[in-house]
Chain A
Amino acid sequence: MTDNELLEQVFQPIRQMQVADDGFTDRVARRLPRQRNALQLSRLWTAFCVVVAVALFVLLRGWQVVAYALVTLLNALPTRQQLLLFAVCAGIAGLIALAEFTGRELRQGLST
């Protein structure tokens, strides 16, 4: 019998040995550390970015830039296009309000 054959034969029972759990999984579960997962980290990062953006907006008086840009845009447009832009904005606002109203009605209907 060669070395390999002998070892194959002798190791067979060890290969088939199944170690019973005997509460091992529970012991590991009890020792698991509390750690932040990727989702929590992602939310924290988003919140951090929002806070920084708002702070910069306030500190640098961002509303002035926005107002200036809007006024410039409106002044640059011909009157007909201003009316068109106003109509589109009003339409979008109307659709949003309608969707909100319909959704609320539906939710009330489902709850009753």
Chain B
Amino acid sequence: MGRLNDLSLATQVAVFGNKRAFDQLVREYQSPVRRFFLSQTAGNEALSDDLAQDTFLKAYTHIGQYRGTSAFLTWLTRIAYNVWYDHCRSRQLKVNGPPLATAVSKAEAEAGAGTSSSTQRSSLQIDLLAALKVLRDEERSCITLQLVDGYAIDEIAAISGLPANTVKSHLRRGKEKLANYLRQNGYDR
């Protein structure tokens, strides 16, 4: 969907309250938004869907703030990042990350509770989502925004509100941790 079309749909929602136009936007972008949350929650579908719904509701109530200067998906991802940040904060998880053992056990518990068979995923995808648990929250966000969603460093900085150098550090450390984890589990053969 082109940026002009997105802008046209967003304008119809903001000016005329056209809910059908918003449905079109949701249908178009639900997959990348839910995939973003699946990556953050280590594959917890129920939690991912709840957070994705919150993201779209926030997008709906603030649609007038979308000016079309960036792609609609980038704007939506910024909201999704904030929703995830708020979720972590509301659960009293520091953005810098809890002690690793706590984070992993919590994510494992959530993944176990929320994974259903409604979305067919390969075992590699499930392994990888689980592997992301070794990363701290911000490292995971930066890694998935770059390697899954294909954003450049300056775009990740704009989405997360972090300085570009901090994003680079998170990416470097995150990649190192993840690559080590994957090698230990036989992924480079």
Contact = CB atoms under 8 A, between A and B. Distances in A.
A39 to B, nearest CB: 6
B176 A3 contact: yes
A4 interface: yes
A40 B182 contact: no
Contacts of A27: 49, 53
B116 to A, nearest CB: 10
A35 B118 CA distance: 33
A6 interface: yes
B179 interface: yes
Category for how many chain A residues contact B: 20 to 34
Give chain B's interface secondary structure class: helix
A31 B23 CA distance: 12
Category for how many chain B residues contact A: 35 or more
A13 B15 CA distance: 39
A25 interface: yes
A14 B182 CA distance: 15
Interface of B: 13-17, 19, 22-23, 26-27, 30-31, 34-35, 38-39, 49, 52-53, 56-57, 60-61, 64, 118-119, 121-122, 124-125, 128-129, 147-148, 150, 175-176, 178-179, 182-183, 187-188
Please name the 10 residue pairs, one residue from A and one from B, whose CB atoms are nearest each other, closest first: A37-B17, A3-B179, A11-B147, A19-B34, A19-B31, A38-B15, A25-B26, A28-B56, A25-B27, A24-B30
Given A10-B124, A11-B148, A14-B39, 12 more contacts: A1-B188, A8-B147, A13-B124, A14-B129, A14-B148, A17-B121, A19-B31, A19-B38, A25-B26, A28-B53, A32-B57, A36-B17
24 contacts: A1-B188, A6-B187, A6-B188, A7-B175, A7-B179, A7-B182, A8-B147, A13-B122, A14-B35, A14-B125, A14-B128, A15-B150, A17-B125, A25-B30, A27-B49, A28-B23, A28-B26, A29-B19, A29-B23, A31-B53, A37-B13, A37-B15, A38-B14, A39-B15
